[in-house]
Amino acid sequence: MLTSALVLLCAAPAAAYVDPASGKPHPVRVLRGFDKPEYKWSAGHRGVDMALRIGGRVVAAESGTVAFVGTVAGTPVISIDHADGIRTTYQPVHASVTQGQEVREGQTIGKLGHPVDGSPGLHWGARIAKDSYIDPLSLLDMPVIRLKPL
């Protein structure tokens, strides 16, 4: 009985989100990480850039409701509101979904467009309030790294 309790305590929780560039529960390839600015008006990187080729399929990181589909500063953007209060944003993505549409985790929401600012890949952001950005990688399982003995 003690063994079963230990197994339950040590078991990793199931991932709630998936990498929108691969559909996997862990990040496959991050090109640029999250850099939270000191102040909401300061420079920083309010998301992560995931490796994905232009025209590649982008999937919803979690089930939710499409809150926004449109263009911001010349960049095609999709935002999804999730039941846990998090809003995820994907850019530059040419949408195959519409505002108000319900989407499932892993469902294709569009295709990666050409970067407007020259940064390659998919920019994926997450926030829990209007100006409270979080590292979207914190929503994923991290892969287990095992070192071989020398």
Check: CB of residue 148 under 8 Å from CB of residue 26.
no
What tokens were used for 23?
Answer: 């559909």
13-22, 38-47, 85-94: which has the highest mean pLDDT?
85-94
> Which helix (H) or strand (E) covers residue 123, if one does?
strand 122-129
* pLDDT cut 90: percent of the chain above it: 58
Check pLDDT > 50 for residue 136. yes
The CA distance from 97 to 101, in Å, is 7
Q: What is the pLDDT of residues 51-87, one digit of tens each?
A: 999 999 999 999 999 999 999 999 999 999 999 999 9
Which of the four pLDDT bands, split at 50, 70 and 90, describes residue 134?
confident
pLDDT in tens, 92-126: 999 999 999 999 999 999 999 998 777 789 999 99
Q: For residue 143, name the pLDDT band (cuts at 50, 70, 90).
A: low
pTM, entire model: 0.82
Residue 8, pLDDT above cutoff 80: no
Residue 147: which pLDDT band, with cuts at 50, 70 and 90? confident
**What is the Cα–Cα distance from 29 to 121, expressed in whole angstroms?**
10
| Domain assignments of the chain as residue spans, ordered by start | 26-139
User: Nearest-CA neighbor of 64 among 20, 123, 116?
Assistant: 20
Alpha carbons 146 and 59: distance in angstroms, whole number: 29
CATH number for the domain running over 26-139: 2.70.70.10
